[in-house]
Copies of this chain bind each other. A is one copy, B any other.
Amino acid sequence: MQTTTQVKTPVVGKHVYGELYGVDEELLRDQEKLRKIVIEAAHIAKMHLVEVNSWKFKGGDKEGVSVIALVLESHIAIHTWPTYNYATVDVYTCGEHSDPMAAFRYIVSQLAPKRFTVNYSDRSYR
């Protein structure tokens, strides 16, 4: 008698993140534009977008915009500090076919930083 064993598909998680320097100050204050960039980035990464939330903070050292998108089951986040022309980006995706680096590259192309860092972390079940 032949028996089959069900092999659980492992959870594949990929997390690309980085820091962007020398970004245009006004762009980093433009909540609507940043939302659109995140939505398009999710599309480019082949992520299933569930919800996008964003916030604009005003005044003092905490001025800036945060956009966080939930995707199935991970997230994209952009946090900005316009007075420092600075932003941080996280593109964390799940699934073998997702492409977080493509999404990260798209975000960088849109924010056009003078310089940036990029890091990768494997968030898979191992």
Contacts and interface: CB of A to CB of B under 8 A. Distances in A.
What DSSP secondary structure best describes chain A's contact surface? strand
Contacts of A2: none
A121 B123 contact: no
Given A11-B84, A68-B68, A90-B92, 20 more contacts: A10-B84, A11-B81, A13-B88, A17-B121, A19-B125, A51-B53, A53-B53, A57-B72, A62-B73, A66-B70, A66-B73, A66-B74, A66-B75, A73-B80, A75-B77, A81-B125, A84-B125, A86-B125, A88-B123, A90-B90
B64 A55 contact: no
A26 to B, nearest CB: 18
